[in-house]
Chains A and B, each alone.
Chain A
Amino acid sequence: MTLPNLALLIIGTVDLLAAFLFMYGLKRMSSPVTAPSGIRVAGIGMLAAVLASFLYGLDVTGTARQFLMMNMGLCVLALVLGGGVAWLAGRSVPMTAMPQMVALYNGAGGGAAAAIAGTELLAGHAAGVTALVVTLVGAMIGCVSLSGSLIAWAKLQEVLKQPLRFIGQLYVNLLILLATVAVGAFLVYLSEGGTWNFLTVPDIIAIFFGCALLYGIAMTLPIGGADMPVVISIYNAATGLAVGLEGFVLGNPALMIAGMVVGAAGTLLTLLMARAMNRSVSNVIFTNFGGPTVKSHGHMKGSLKPAAAADAAIFMHYAKSVVIVPGYGLAAAQAQQKLYDFVKQLQSSGVDVKFAIHPVAGRMPGQMDVLLAEAGVPYDLIFQLDDINDQFATTDVALVIGANDVVNPAARTDKSSPIYGMPILDADKARHCYCVKRGQGKGYAGIMNALFFEPNTNMIYGDANAVLGEMIEAVKGLGKAAA
């Protein structure tokens, strides 16, 4: 057997193994117990695939041969540089900043897929209409994912604070999209023997990439911060798809399988998130939600009844069951740790404490679960919406911290409310409800919360951290008095 052929045999075998390990690793994510080993299994597959890819060097032909040593060196340099920077960033990023970090890594993947398409197009490897079209579509999706993810990052990092909107934006975006497709179609026309004397093919390729990148930016700019869980999921799916398509062009089934599996995962999460917000995916992308256009909502019956943190703590201390509904406000105040300290106090005095998590609590799917896990909350205390909603009716106290729209009963009753129909946590059905809130403002969606005006609801105003500190002290004082 010739050396190049042997190299291809080894690469093919290792890639097959990697594809298997990826799917097996993701499969192990179906339980928190097996999940850590799952990512390690996938990691082994990745490492093997990367190492085996150096063997491509044995099968180089044509002009690339004279650059072989240099290209190998560049390869190592890029791996060390890109991997090193991302590894360091990944180690130090706080869990609250996870959504923007995932957006960045995701954008990197999309950019890599687009760059591969770029080399294939420039080298003229994509022969035939099918291969060319697939390359172009992959390049376009990759570019949109790259620039869109960067905008999503800027929004989550609050570099961009306001969604950028103007009249006719939808049509401008549509125009950019059409322009991208048109330039791509023109490239296909040129490859099929068409001629044009004004621009060279590499220039047109560059214009194509420019249009696609611009579309990613234009598409993401008008989307509000509250919709970021959906947007991140969409780009995750998009990058997967782009990787899969480039895998087809390169003749590498491992890329196709991995990309497509991720594409399916991202699509599933996108739909789940959209459903949790009671909105369609196109509605998220094409309409202005949470913007200044949403007018403050109707008149509320009842009144806001403030309560002292200490009184609430003592009330909970004597309760049988407490369900805590955390929202992003808790994470913003970095009070997860204090919350769990308070929970441990309640547990030691015999209170049954559970956490109720809404799918969109946080800025990406499941972020609140991670933030609680980071604080040390055991995952068997954490319940999802469908599992716990029936239990509110038999719960003594619901403690809502930093959550707002996800507990707004208007979503059940008020047809004129923008969040009408959205599944919510039924905190209002608990016998008593305490809401910890920084001020008398509205939620992320800019809507008044009917829960706050319920007769059995008390408001505790203050920063979550300070409020929980007072609660802990109050229960401590109680213990001392008893002793």
Chain B
Amino acid sequence: MSFAIHLSGFIGVYIFMLAAFAGWVIIGGVPAILHTPLMSGSNFVHGIVVVGGMFALINAGSLQEQTIGFFAVLLGAGNVAGGYTVTNRMLVMFQTSGKTQHHARPKHPKSV
């Protein structure tokens, strides 16, 4: 059997629909306090485009394709590295005051 992935239009639409729904639900649970790291973090996640760029560049058969493919990888790599660095920098800054109560976030109903 071949492991090449072939997507027909409809399967693509199904994947898009489910991913959009999952994304909406996952992101909906992120508190407003983390919206900037969330944005740069999701920014980092779409850096996966670098993988597509690598595919395009490795399969480039002409100078034109090589040039454009090179830029795809270059920009994608920038997206990945930059997105990761700034998100990580921001997230380690969030500290609690060490108090026992964290009223900003909902806890288990039992403990309230």
Q: Which residues of A contact B (CB under 8 A)?
A: 5, 8-9, 12, 15, 18, 22-23, 25-27, 29-33, 35-36, 38-40, 42-43, 46, 49-50, 53-54, 56-57, 60, 62-64, 67-68, 70-72, 74-75, 77-87, 89-91, 93, 95, 98, 101-102, 104-106, 108-109, 111-113, 115-116, 118-120, 122-123, 130, 134, 202, 232-233, 236, 239-240, 243-244, 246-248, 250-269, 272, 357, 359, 362, 364-367, 369-370, 373-374, 376, 378-384, 387
Known: A42-B45, A62-B61, A82-B75. A252 touches B93 (CB 8 A): no
Chain A residue nearest in CB terms to B36 = A366
Q: Are B56 and A39 in contact (CB under 8 A)?
A: no
The docked-state distance in angstroms from the alpha carbon of A250 to that of B46 is 15
Pairs across A and B, CB under 8 Å, 11 listed: A26-B38, A30-B30, A32-B31, A46-B47, A46-B48, A46-B80, A111-B72, A243-B49, A261-B27, A365-B35, A366-B37
- The smallest C-beta distance from B28 to any residue of chain A, in angstroms, reads 6
Q: Are B75 and A115 in contact (CB under 8 A)?
A: yes
Closest 5 CB pairs of A and B: A366-B35, A264-B23, A90-B85, A378-B97, A86-B82
Known: A116-B56, A359-B32. A39 touches B72 (CB 8 A): no
A-B contact count (CB 8 A): 423
Q: Are B96 and A8 in contact (CB under 8 A)?
A: no
- The smallest C-beta distance from A202 to any residue of chain B, in angstroms, reads 7
Known: A42-B41, A359-B32, A367-B36. A246 touches B52 (CB 8 A): yes
- The smallest C-beta distance from B57 to any residue of chain A, in angstroms, reads 5
Secondary structure of the B contact surface, majority rule: helix
Q: A46-B48, A379-B33 are in contact. List 9 more A-B contacts (CB 8 A).
A: A46-B80, A53-B54, A105-B40, A111-B75, A115-B75, A256-B15, A269-B38, A357-B32, A370-B37
The docked-state distance in angstroms from the alpha carbon of A359 to that of B32 is 7
Chain B residue nearest in CB terms to A55 = B58
Contacts of B69 in A (CB 8 A): 71, 74, 115-116, 119
From A9, A120, A380, contact of B96 by CB (8 A): A380
Known: A26-B26, A57-B58. A269 touches B35 (CB 8 A): yes
Q: Are B34 and A380 in contact (CB under 8 A)?
A: no
Q: Are B90 and A370 in contact (CB under 8 A)?
A: yes
- The smallest C-beta distance from A439 to any residue of chain B, in angstroms, reads 28
Q: Are B57 and A74 in contact (CB under 8 A)?
A: yes
The docked-state distance in angstroms from the alpha carbon of A195 to that of B78 is 39
Contacts of A68 in B (CB 8 A): 58
Type the 1/0 row for B76-96, where 1 means its CB is closer than 8 Å to any CB of A: 111111111111111111111
